[in-house]
Structures are given as structure tokens and as C-alpha cells.
């Protein structure tokens, strides 16, 4: 017996709420980090910051990448 989710009949609740999986997982991870007790909370909050590079591709070649930050301070 196939479930509704497997048959494509039901969308995940984060998708139905207009979120991407990444934004949903970031919210969940933030909630878990905030529930931790010290000193684990402070240690986990320092690992929360993520930096990455984005490069636009034109005619099959990458342009100069730009550095981005995905941290709560950037919101």
C-alpha cells in the first residue's frame, strides 16, 4: 500500500508553508541549539555561522565568486 506522500498526493508541511527545506532545517537547528544547556549552547552557537562562495556562470565559465554569509546576524 503506497502512502499519500510517496504517490505525490501530499506536500511536506514546510513546502505547504512556502518554505524551502534549507530554511526549515535552519529553523529546526536553531531551536535545538537554543534548547541546549551551557556550555554546549555557546559552543553550538559558534558553529552556527556558515560562509560560502557563489559564482555566476556565463558561457560555460565561472565569473569571480562572491563570498556570502548565512548567519543569523545577516538576516
Q: Could you tell me which residue, 68 or 63, shows the higher pLDDT?
A: 63
The DSSP annotation for the chain comes to: ---TTTTTSS--HHHHTT--HHHHHHHHHHHHHHHSPTTHHHHHHHTT--EEEE--EETTEE---EEEE-SGGG-
pLDDT of residue 37: 93
pTM of this prediction? Answer: 0.50
Choice among 1-5, 6-10, 43-47, 68-72 with the minimum mean pLDDT: 1-5
Task: Give the mean pLDDT of 24-48.
Answer: 87
> Tens of pLDDT along 13-23?
888 888 888 88
Q: Could you tell me which residue, 11 or 41, shows the higher pLDDT?
A: 41
Task: Give the mean pLDDT of 32-36.
Answer: 90
Amino acid at each position: 500500500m503506497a502512502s499519500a506522500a510517496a504517490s505525490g498526493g501530499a506536500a511536506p508541511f514546510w513546502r505547504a508553508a512556502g518554505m524551502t527545506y534549507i530554511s526549515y532545517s535552519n529553523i529546526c537547528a536553531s531551536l535545538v541549539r537554543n534548547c541546549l544547556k551551557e556550555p554546549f549552547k555557546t559552543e553550538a552557537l559558534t558553529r552556527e555561522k556558515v560562509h560560502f562562495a557563489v559564482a555566476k556562470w556565463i558561457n560555460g565559465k565561472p565569473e569571480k565568486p562572491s563570498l556570502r554569509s548565512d548567519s543569523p546576524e545577516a538576516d
